[in-house]
Amino acid sequence: MRYVTALTLGSRMISPVSDNQPLLRVENLCIAIQNAGQLQPVVRDLSFEVQASQTLGIVGESGSGKSLTVLAIMGLLSGSPVRVTSGKVWFDGKDLLQLSDAERRSIMGDGMSMIFQEPMTSLNPVYKIGDQIMEGIRHHQHCSAKEARTRALQLLEKVKIPDASTRIDHYPHQLSGGQRQRVMIAMALACDPLLLIADEPTTALDVTVQKEVLDLIAEIQQDTGTAIILISHDLGVIAQTCNFVAVMYCGEIVESSTTEKLFQRLGHPYTRGLIESIPPLHSDVEWLNAIPGQVPALNALPVGCSYQPRCSHAQAQCRQNPPVALLDDEHIVRCHFAQQLQGRAS
Amino acid sequence: MKLLTFVKEALEGRKLATAGAIWLLIIVVAGIAAPLIAPFDPLEIDPIARLSEPGTPYLFGTDHFGRDTFSRAVYGARMALIIGIGSVMVALLCGGLVGMLSGYFTGLGHVLMRMVDVLMAFPALLLALVLMTVLERSVFNTILVIGIVYATTTARILFGMMLKLKNEVFIDAARCSGAGHLSLLFRHILPNLLSPILVQATFIFAFAQLQAAALDFLGLGLPPEVPSWGNMLAEERIYITRAPWLLIFPGVLIILSVFSMNLLGDALRDRIDPRFKDDIAGV
């Protein structure tokens, strides 16, 4: 039941119409991949906001561009064939894409940090976990090794590593996957960041551990008030943890809303497809309504609505770019038939 | 301490490699304690006892100047150590730096690695010969030349490992906590390269012995007055029929040392990557 409290608490803290400057504001972000001398767009004209202390869930199939978006925000795309072609990423009043290397490094880990998908490879195998947590602390807070160690110990206790005082001197290979992910969370939280990005933090873990880690993230969010962007392809995970949801398809946000409103009435056929493909727990079904087909290749994006070839409601009109429909003051849907379809959703 | 346990683990159950390690230990001790072990000054001439057979007081006999071969062999061990360690250091420092920077900064890598390719196009001995003819014969220059020759292979190996390592998630994670290029290179990546560097070092050490002996033999290595195994071969080769022990002793020393170093290197490499293990290696 903790999720429910976190959720209501969260939405009370954020008034969506506040005049406050958002903590993170992504404006018209376009990302393209360099392929055989040609730039192919991967993320198109993406805009969203994260308020302080808010939890935003980004959901979508593999290849929808959700990971690339957060990598771009974190500035981790350099050295790869993927680059940001236009757009702005405002964080705490600064445009992240215009910052110099040094300015950017002072924000990384301190103002914002990230948890990765694979806990098995995201810790350096040659260092003790305590040293890895202390590194960020010492880098940003210029404190003594002893103070940093005390802080690291506190963090390990906070992420509920049993027997933290001995674990602090263990190497990553001595820990299980769930424990490593906890260590990663401790590392990410080391300098009390304003924004924590979690890129599918539970995908590589089994279900029970997944629950524990999500509980932990929700708890930390409540304690520290850190804003969180949680990426997942699992709407269930998002529903449990986030108070805002953005659904991505083919590099675009097709629907975004508060979690409550989204599940009350699903605006976009794609979101409905995602939900219908989750096997129900309490009833027996013969056949799951999976979304037919696959995410289209980058070089063969359909004209008009990018979901139209797989959509059961598709009509001739869908070959034109869909308008952005406002179902509610916070519920945005990118579909021609948003108004008609939403009535039938529930 | 970790290094010691690592070596110990590598040698476990491998008799030949252990024997090699013990032999190398003897060489190291002989090299360090040469003045205590050698019964004579390696440069002292005893003209009356020229080309005397092994026995007393000259354990390995004497050369055509009447110098004690045993003492020269012991001091040769010291020279072998100096050349080996020196070349390894030059090769690892130059090659390691070039390889790591090339792998990390892609643009720089294109330029540096093409230069490495050019150097690698020459056979090792030929490259060493060319460089030595330009430079003066001295201990330092020999070390430098051998070091440069093996820096190329080191650069290649580290370049490849770097390409793989820099894309590891933990490097991204380190970047996320604000680590700069220097910190990424030397704090986060370098420690992950230490074991392959250690293996590479043992092979460079072995090849440096051969290379140095070859240069000495061709008269382009160490100055002739320096007692080294290669110089001993070079100077006494005309007496091979009259006093074969003059060539047998230094020859056997070179063979045993290089062979031991290779065995040790093999064992260390198998410890790091068991996929390379072949059936003979377990003997």
**What are the boundaries of each domain within chain A?**
2-111+191-258
Interface TM-score (ipTM) > 0.85: no
Percent of chain A with pLDDT over 90: 22
Rounded to 5 degrees, φ, ψ at A200 are 45, 60
**Tokens read off for B66:** 């009447």
| Structural domains of chain B, count | 1
> What are the CA-CA distances from residue B54 to residues A111, B67, B68, B75, B237 (Å)?
77, 12, 10, 18, 17
Give the C-alpha separation, A68 to A80, whole Å.
11
Side chain identity at residue A48, one-letter code? F
The per-residue pLDDT for range B9-43, each reduced to its tens digit, is: 888 888 999 999 999 999 999 999 989 988 888 88
Please state the rounded mean pLDDT for residues B117-131. 92
Per residue in B102-139, is it b (16+ CB within 10 Å) or e — as a string?
A: bbbbeeebeebbeebeeebeeebeebbbebbeeeebeb
The per-residue pLDDT for range A241-291, each reduced to its tens digit, is: 888 999 999 888 999 999 888 888 888 888 888 888 888 778 777 788 788
- The CATH-assigned architecture of domain A2-111+191-258 is 3-Layer(aba) Sandwich (3.40)
pLDDT value for B1? 62
Longest Cα–Cα distance of chain B, Å, equals 76
pLDDT at B181 > cutoff 70: yes
Residue B200 lies in a domain: yes
Out of A10-14, A139-143, A293-297, B91-95, the most confident range is B91-95
A247 CB within 8 Å of a chain B CB? no
Give the C-alpha separation, A180 to A205, whole Å.
10
CATH code assigned at B118 = 1.10.3720.10
Is B27 within 8 Å of B77 (Cβ atoms)?
Answer: yes
Nearest-CA distance from B172 to chain A in Å? Answer: 7
pTM of the complete model: 0.80
Chain B positions in Cβ-Cβ contact with residue A124 (cut-off 8 Å): 170, 173-174, 188, 191-192
**Tokens read off for B131:** 């460089």
Residue B131 lies in a domain: yes
pLDDT at B201 > cutoff 90: yes
Q: pLDDT confidence of A345, banded at 50, 70, 90?
A: very low
Residue B46 lies in a domain: no
pLDDT value for A20? 65
Give the C-alpha separation, A344 to A296, whole Å.
27
Q: Average model confidence (pLDDT) for chain B?
A: 88
**Enclosing H/E stretch for A84:** strand A82-91
Interface test with A, best of B168, B176, B187 (most A CBs within 10 A): B176
The per-residue pLDDT for range B235-271, each reduced to its tens digit, is: 888 888 888 888 999 999 999 999 999 999 888 888 8
Domain span including residue B27: 15-40+69-282
Whose tokens are 């939890």? That residue is: A55
pLDDT value for B49? 78
Residue A97 buriedness (CB in 10 A; 0-12 / 13-18 / 19+): middle
Q: pLDDT confidence of A58, banded at 50, 70, 90?
A: very high
Long-range contacts of B220-223 (CB under 8 A, 24+ apart): B220/B129, B220/B132, B220/B133, B220/B137, B221/B132, B221/B137, B221/B142, B222/B79, B222/B83, B222/B137, B222/B138, B222/B139, B222/B142, B223/B137, B223/B138, B223/B139
Residue B276 lies in a domain: yes
Residue B3 lies in a domain: no
Is A58 within 8 Å of A87 (Cβ atoms)?
Answer: no
List B residues 96-135 in contact with A (Cβ-Cβ < 8 A): 106
Please state the rounded mean pLDDT for residues A146-170. 92
Note whether A127 contacts B191, CB cutoff 8 Å: yes
Chain A positions in Cβ-Cβ contact with residue B169 (cut-off 8 Å): 116-118, 121-122
Q: Which residue has the higher pLDDT, B29 or A313?
A: B29
Side chain identity at residue A193, one-letter code? P
Q: Average model confidence (pLDDT) for chain A?
A: 84
Residue B47 lies in a domain: no
Q: pLDDT confidence of B283, banded at 50, 70, 90?
A: very low
pLDDT value for B46? 82
Note whether A108 contacts B173, CB cutoff 8 Å: no
pLDDT value for B277? 53
Please state the rounded mean pLDDT for residues A314-339. 83
Q: Which residue has the higher pLDDT, B11 or A78?
A: B11
pLDDT value for A342? 56
Q: pLDDT confidence of A12, banded at 50, 70, 90?
A: very low
Identity of the residue in A109, A113, A123 whose CB atom sits nearest the CB atom of B170? A123
Rounded to 5 degrees, φ, ψ at A176 are -80, 170
pLDDT at A63 > cutoff 70: yes
Percent of chain A with pLDDT over 70: 92
Residues in chain A: 346
Q: What angle do CA A140, A144, A147 make, to 5 degrees?
A: 90
pLDDT value for A296? 84
Residue B63 lies in a domain: no
Side chain identity at residue B52, one-letter code? S
Percent of chain B with pLDDT over 90: 55
Chain B positions in Cβ-Cβ contact with residue A121 (cut-off 8 Å): 168-170
pLDDT at A146 > cutoff 50: yes
Q: What angle do CA B92, B93, B94 make, to 5 degrees?
A: 95
Q: Which residue has the higher pLDDT, B111 or A40?
A: B111
Side chain identity at residue B32, one-letter code? I
Q: Of B72, B88, B86, B77, nearest to B33 (Cα)?
A: B77
Side chain identity at residue A160, one-letter code? K
Note whether A140 contacts B178, CB cutoff 8 Å: yes
Sheet holding A244-249, edge to edge: A112-115, A195-199, A227-232, A55-59, A244-249, A252-258, A332-334, A324-326
